[in-house]
Amino acid sequence: MKFFIDTANLDEIREAMDLGILDGVTTNPSLMAKEGIKGEENIRKHYTDICEIVDGDVSAEVIATDFEGIIREAEELAALHPQIVVKVPMIKDGVKAIKYLSSKGIKTNCTLVFSTGQAILAAKAGATYVSPFIGRLDDISTDGVELVAQIVDIYRYYDFDTQVLAASIRHTMHIPQCAEAGADVVTCPLKPIMGLLKHPLTDIGLEKFLADHGK
């Protein structure tokens, strides 16, 4: 399972890289705004900066919602750096654009996916990744991890190449749950990733080993 970090914060990306477990980055317009990155030129430079830190796929989201606009933006984003994956929303023109972009060899991440039906469309269109948003489903009392498991089953059954990228991860336990569900990738902020390190028995055990070594 690959680990992506879901942030536009360069320090957090560096910290996850430093841990040695990072396979890529996902961003979205809200995460860029959170870092105060505004204006086309600055946004594009920021994507390039991220690509230079991380050794793996970096999702950059289109703003256009019409077919021609999505294609134009996607081609510009993809030309920025070979690691760029164009994030396209699960809408009618988005599906058409994913089909077109995949035929041109441009990698895509179909975002804002909340159902198996949407995930089937993304795979049929040839998306490189599909992003079910598990936390936002949990927020409305629907089991987000269960959706990941269902999509994984369907993709395996039909041998789709699209990778299941579990997104909108809110806490540490979502990560092993998504792994158990067979997600190809999890993307989450740094905090849930660092939470995986923690176990009180590890701390107690280490303390005792160090104390015994000193005897």
Q: Footprint of ligand E4P on this chain (CB under 6 A)? A: 6, 26, 28, 111, 131, 133, 135-136, 167-168, 187
Closest approach of ligand E4P to the CB of residue 207, in Å: 35
Q: In the annotation, is 87 catalytic?
A: yes
Closest approach of ligand E4P to the CB of residue 206, in Å: 33
Closest approach of ligand E4P to the CB of residue 48, in Å: 19
Dist CA 179 CA 203 (whole Å): 25
Q: Which residues of 60-72 are buried (b: 16+ CB within 10 A; e: fewer)?
A: bbbebeeeeebbe
Q: Which residues contact 192 (CB under 8 A, 6 or more apart)?
A: 169, 170, 171, 172, 174, 175
Question: Which of the residues 38, 87, 104, 208 is marked catalytic?
Answer: 87
Cα 117 → chain centroid: 20
In the chain, what is the straight-line distance between the N-terminal and C-terminal CA atoms, in Å? 42
Q: Nearer to ligand E4P by C-beta: 71 or 187? A: 187
User: Which residues are part of the catalytic machinery?
Assistant: 87
